[in-house]
Structure 1
Amino acid sequence: MRQGRALWSWLLAEVCSYLGTRFSMIAIPWLVLQGTGSATATGLVAAAELAPYVLAKVVAGPWVDRWGGRRIAIAGDLLSAVAVVGVWLSFRAGGLSVPVLVGLVAVVGALRGPADVAKQAMIPAVAEHSGSPLERVTGLASMVERLASTTGAAAAGVVIAAVGGDDALLVTAVALLCSAVVVAGLLPAQVGRPVVDAGPPQGYGRSLAEGLRFLRGDSLLLSIVAMVAVTNLLDQAYSAVLVPVWVTTHAHGPEVLGLVFAAMTGSAVAGSALAAWKGHRLPRLVVYAVAFLIAGAPRFWAFALTDSVALVVAVVVVGGLASGFLNPIIGALLVERIPSRLLGRVSGLVSASAWSLMPLGALLGGVLVTRAGLDVALLLGGALYLLTTAAPFAVPSFRAMRRPREPEPVAAPRPAR
């Protein structure tokens, strides 16, 4: 039981963090859309949070290696909770002001980035102190992410309908505070200390450059990051703008918005469980390529071609089931290829690169809906998704998935939520 404390307390911190961010992901766009009626403003606010989040992940990597993930995770979650309360206070004091909201959510994003990188950098120590294989820890982490996101999405729709989007933000603040308390009070003190084999001390710039050189030298990782960056861009347009606009256009309430996201992440939990059970026996490249094809374009086209909630939820469930296989495959590849002494730096760079286009995704979704209409935006998004997810069949570097290297005792972040 004492050995397992590291694993379960770390997973609990992840649950709290995911619950909080899922609430804000639904509550803030809904508030902006209801308050302004503007898809462009909705995309702008979503982008204002994501851009600092991505940059902060890059900046935080060398600090995580030098100071350890524990300190940064605690500080980041605590300060994020305070910033979210600031967003709530701005609504309570004067209603919706888009410029003020843009500034506040930018602060939230800048604080969340380091906290997320720091918690992911703890994975090797969590595995060591719990006596669990790295593959089990990363597999459980993927399932926890999906499950917490499912619960958070469903609960967010219900809470927003009951108390309003502004008061629902308090749930995010409480969840982030709980994450910080769990890391500080329950996680063993040895977990999250600086990596002992990080090499001789060097300047911040050289430390960051070393991680960048490693990532640039691995063609498979670069191909995966590029592909995931584009699909994340399209997914952000889908979740932050296209689906909320579809819900309001068809006169549905926030509970339908929560249902759609919960259906995706809920079925992805089942997919992750199947991947953990049988994934190691399946051809890695084929599963990766086919799962991406199923998980992407059909969702966009379903929303464009029907107004039936039951039908779009059915398509989303199938896509979510397929998507559950993706993070375990990507996580296994990263575990095999990233040296432990570069963990914080390369983890931050991989994650930030995979998220780098997401701020543009929210803006793109808003502009497309405004200029071309919702259905055209959805059809075009599906076509771009299909083109991107065909890459593993055409780009030679993806063939390296069939020839995994000997794994090192390292870990890496999941590049998409």
Structure 2
Amino acid sequence: MTSPQVSRDRSPFVALLAADNVSRFGDLMTAVVIPWFVLDTTGSAGKTGIVVFAVGLAVVVSLFAGGAIVDRIGYRRMSLLGDAASCATIATIALLHHADALPFGLLVALAFLGTLLDLPAQMGRYAALPDAAAQAGLRFERANSIYEGVISSGALIAPATAGLLIAWVGPANVLWFDVATFGLSILIVASAFPAPVPGAAGREEPRLPLRRAFSQSWSLVRRDEVLFPLVAYLFLINLIVGPVETLVIPVYANTVLDSAIALGFMTAALAAGGLGGNVIFAAVGHRLPRQATFALAFATLPVMLIVLAPGPGAGIAIPVLVLVGLGLSIGNLLEYTIYFERIPSYIRASVLGICGGLTWLSVPLGRIVFGALIEATSLETALLILGLVALPLSFTALFLRGLRTRPASA
């Protein structure tokens, strides 16, 4: 008896890939443009620190709540809502700036609101990937590799594009390019997914009540001999990681290199290093000693900060940032490898949200402190202080004894 031919339709997968890449491209451009816009309009690293603090705070909130929101309203609506929020807030910033009616407090509020739904929107699109892949007749592993590859490529191109556009038309006008990317993503999702991808809706899976899931997840993190120390370590590390892309790079490009183009290429250098880290970890990650890997991966941070303190040119700054991107990528991949080893599948999303939220709590704090430190001293002094603090922090990974053991299958 011949089995029925399975109908394959790759258009939802292609559209999902396109929509997510366009939206993330806008997010990445915004991450470059907004700090430069604040520096350009206020001339204050301290005020820039406040704005990127608000952005980081929005990420923390969305990490804790994003998974639950996606589960309740669905991936398609979440994608549309997140892009609409970004589109509206960035357009409002641009309009009010051109009307000379944008007080600083409102800018901070709009930056917070524009970021709040970005991560849930990304979660929603990623949640649709297995069903879109199945409809396209693709194995999930292959679909996921394609998905991540496109995202990584966008992470290389978007910052450089933003830097070139800032130099060409100015940061305020680049905001309209960001608005266009979010609008295009909305159009793709709305037209390609008039209904959820078959299988994404109506599939009933047992779920714990939200309060019980949160309670069990927090209890697991708090009691686990590996997770809790790891989260505490990453909380400290993120005090240093937080300011790098949103303050160190924009302020350095602005005050030392005086070049928006350099800003784009410095940010792209982090992404290039990240691609290298992905390749290295895929090849040998399962064999790396975990304590030493975390320590050496995050030791790239103080190296970069101390090297940049004297104010070298782009010829030194860009290679050092590639090294940092490589280290952060390896550290991040190892972090999530450990999470997936130790977290039960039935509360995985909730535990990942708690771990991500806790480790990210220090990101906005690090940003606002570093911005204030620049204002109180100078960029060079602030970089040196941050580097000297980061050096011992990175090597505290050597004291995380739980990392010495692995699951038997690892």
Task: Report TM bin, short chain.
Answer: 0.7 to 0.9
More off after superposition, 255-264 vs 289-298: 289-298
- Is the CA contact (8 Å cut-off) linking 2:12 and 2:197 kept in structure 1? no
Cα offset for 1:166? Answer: 1.3
1:83 aligns with 2:83: no
State the match for 1:162 in structure 2: 168
Tell me whether 1:308 sits opposite 2:316 in the alignment: no
Structure-2 residue corresponding to 1:279: 284
CA contact (8 A) 1:223 1:398 kept: no
Aligned to 2:297: 292
Does the 8 Å CA contact 2:69/2:120 hold for their aligned counterparts? no
Post-superposition Cα deviations, 1:300-331, rounded to whole Å, max 9, x if no partner, equal: 11210342210111212223233333333333
Which among 318, 323, 327 is matched to residue 332 of structure 2? 327
- Which of 63, 73, 85 matches 2:79? 73
**Partner residue of 1:266 out of 245, 267, 272:** 272
In the alignment, does 2:239 pair up with 1:233?
Answer: yes
Judge which range, 267-276 or 115-124, deviates more: 115-124
Aligned position for 2:3: none
CA spacing shift, 1:225–1:69, aligned 2, 3 Å: farther
Per the alignment, residue 58 of structure 1 pairs with: 64
Deviations 1:226-281 (A, max 9, x none): 333333332222222233222232252111111111112123213313333x1355
Cα 1:199–1:260 change in 2 (3 A) is closer
**1:129-168 alignment to 2 at 5 Å?**
131-134=138-141, 141-168=147-174
Q: Does the 8 Å CA contact 1:143/1:272 hold for their aligned counterparts?
A: no
Match of 1:403 among 389, 401, 407: 407
Partner of 1:353: 358
Q: Kindly state the Cα deviation for residue 123 of structure 1 after the two structures are TM-superposed.
A: 5.5
Count of residues in Structure 1 that have an aligned counterpart in Structure 2: 401
Equivalent runs, 1:181-200 vs 2, <5 Å: 181-186=187-192, 189-190=197-198, 192-193=200-201, 196-199=204-207
In 2, Cα distance between equivalents of 1:176 and 1:212: 35
**What is the deviation of 1:65?**
3.2
Percent identical: 25
Kindly provide the amino acid, as one letter, of the partner of residue 297 in structure 2: F
The answer for the alignment partner of 1:374 in structure 2 is 379
**Separation of aligned partners in 1, 2:393 and 2:168:** 39
Which TM-score applies when normalising by structure 2?
0.86
User: 1:367 and 1:330 mapped to 2: Cα distance?
Assistant: 30
Q: What whole-Å deviation, never above 9, does each CA across 1:350-409 have from its counterpart, x for those lacking one?
A: 332232221112211111111232122111222232222213211112224x32679xxx
Asked if structure 2 preserves the Cα contact closer than 8 Å seen for 1:72 and 1:118, the reply is: yes
1:93 to 93, 99, 118: 99
**What secondary structure does 2:309 align onto?**
helix
Task: Write the letter of the residue equivalent to 2:99.
Answer: A
CA distances 1:33-56 after superposition (whole Å, capped 9, x unpaired): 111111111101111222123113
Kept in 1, the 8 Å contact 2:299–2:394? The answer is no
In 2, Cα distance between equivalents of 1:138 and 1:330: 19
Query: C-alpha separation between the residues in 2 aligned to 1:144 and 1:312?
Result: 26
- Segments of 5+ residues of structure 2 without an aligned counterpart are 1-6
Deviation at 1:57, TM superposition (A): 2.6
CA RMSD of aligned residues (A): 3.0
Give the alignment partner of residue 221 of structure 1, picking from 208, 224, 227.
227
Instruction: Note the C-alpha offset of 1:102.
Output: 0.9
Q: Which moved more, 1:332-341 or 1:156-165?
A: 332-341
CA distance in 2, matches of 1:330, 1:253: 35
* Matched residue SS, 1:324: helix
